[in-house]
Structure 1
Amino acid sequence: MASAIGLVLVGLLLLALGGDSIVKAASGLAQRCGASPFVAGLLLVAFGTSLPELAVNARAYAVGAQDLALGNAVGSNIANLGLTLALAALAAPLLVRTRMLAPLLLVLAVATLALIGFGLDGAISRLEGVLLLLGFVGVVVFLLRRARSEDAARQLGLSGYAVTRTALGLNLLRLLIAVVLLYVGAKFVVDAAPRLGAAWGLSPLLAGLLPVAIGTALPEAAAAIAAARRGQGDMVVGHVLGSSLFNLLVVIGGMAALRPLPLPASFVRLELPAAVALSVVLYPMLRGDMRISRGEGAVLLVAFLAWIGLEVVLVG
């Protein structure tokens, strides 16, 4: 088991480094191709942190470990809402001034409910997978339109996130390094996770849902804590919601579009409803005083720990 833990830890480190490198490369290449810093920053804030999780899920899918990929995608969403946001808010209250974030949370809740509906027959069909992918296109269009109605300070903040060198050679090198790091990191995690899960009495599905999902969320949580201390609450919440939508619509939708994706009954009864419940708890925090306090962060963390406890009890 020690070797499996070591492989997972090294894999997670490589994924974090690869994710950072690919975000810089994507920003530089996008701006070199004519995208404005505002558009590049917006999309990177929303979806950039999902790339390590995408690498893990793509690797798992490629080797036939669909259960691991599905568990990681859904578990990452619960960890995003219940762990990353909670730890960031406990580090420093999150001031949320970007108006499009509350509607984006509603979109996440509706998309999760749609996935529950799709899974009532035990599988997500190719057509339903395509619908999820189209939903992601709609989210991107919504973001681009709504973001331009934000005040100048918010737009400037998003533009600043994309600041990086735009030299073609440098960014192609960054991209190459990122691809290698993400590939090797994902391989280590996917190869070791089932062994680690088996040692703990977990199925591949639950291995993806608990240790892998939480592990891939930890680098994002560390970045969120640092951003919270800098007063960048909008960035923290934007990262979390964008990453969750990407996992739901692109990762799960993409897997189902390629091949009908079995959805275990437990996901319809427990895991997906848990994600909806966390969205419901979070919504008044974003719509009320537009601030996630330390106390509210504690509520999210307690809810997350309660979910883990329930999973462990049910597994036992």
Structure 2
Amino acid sequence: MSDRVGEKYGVLGERVTLKHGAGGRAMRMLIEDKLAAGFAPLADGEIGLAAMDDGAAFRLGDGWLVVTTDSHVIHPVFFPGGDIGRLAVAGTVNDLAVMGATDVLGLTSAMVIEEGFPQSDLERIQRSMQETCQEAGVTIVTGDTKVMGKGELDGIIINTTGVGLAESIVSDSGLNPGDRIVLTGPIGEHGIALMAARRGLGLEGDLRSDVAPINDLIRTARGAADGSIVAMKDPTRGGLASALTEMAEKSGVGIVIDEASVPVTDVVRAAAEILGLDPFHIANEGKAVIGVRPNAADAVLTALRSNPQGKDAAIVGTCIDEHRGRLILDTGFGRRLVSEPEGEPLPRIC
């Protein structure tokens, strides 16, 4: 049995588990082996399911039509800094944005609601979706609602699909040796805020999810890049480590990250230590990882920092020709490999 086959058997197993939906290596293997195979590919140059990017991209005249969809099962539905409604809008807007589609034509919203769910909570979620749509400059144009029996569902599930336009596409596989890695802000805030609230650490007043639409921030960065942004991804489930490992594998490069340059707030660092977690593995819902040609990295960083959402942006790494498909952490005392998590350590993070 080859190492690859053995790895798949060990990770996939015979039944679906929570780790298969948690955004790391296990989920990617499940999708590649069980879910994505057999569907017809798109036309040459278009981006479809096989690419496992943040969405699909179709040629439309001189530009591109981008489509993405996301289902949200987060628990609890209200958490420090946000709720399932804000997440449902921001998550889909952000998936479009990191593919270059910062101009969103519209969103769909499909809700599956448990019998007995408080209508006051539903109204609160709906208001939050409206406010987040206004923040992102988008609107919900159609939807669907279903109700399940008591106990057949845990509260509410929201699926959103987004359609956007892009002059040019940015995939997550366009990195080359020498390119710089730019991070738009501190990592780990969403996952740590949720976990601290669930476990009653008493830090809820200091910890808040970063959930927010970032299409305006990405528009700002691309405006300063003059075509030099070559790859983007939002580091959600599985965190920064999962996002960068996937980008490295797809691009055929190694990525070296300077640990001291990665922004992590003191409260996230402290909470992660209490919980025994690595901030590199924790989900974010309002950040992006951007690959930039070296001659444009400073201009992109300056542009990001001019936007309130990007005030803590930093150049955190460089792509190299060695260690292809690997993420290397430079600690200042040496270098070590950073493994991709099998899955997000906190189930139902989004």
Per the normalisation by structure 1, the TM-score is 0.32
Higher strand share: 2
Q: Which has the bigger relative contact order, CA under 8 A and spacing at least 6?
A: 1
Highest Rg: 1 or 2? 2
Higher helix share: 1
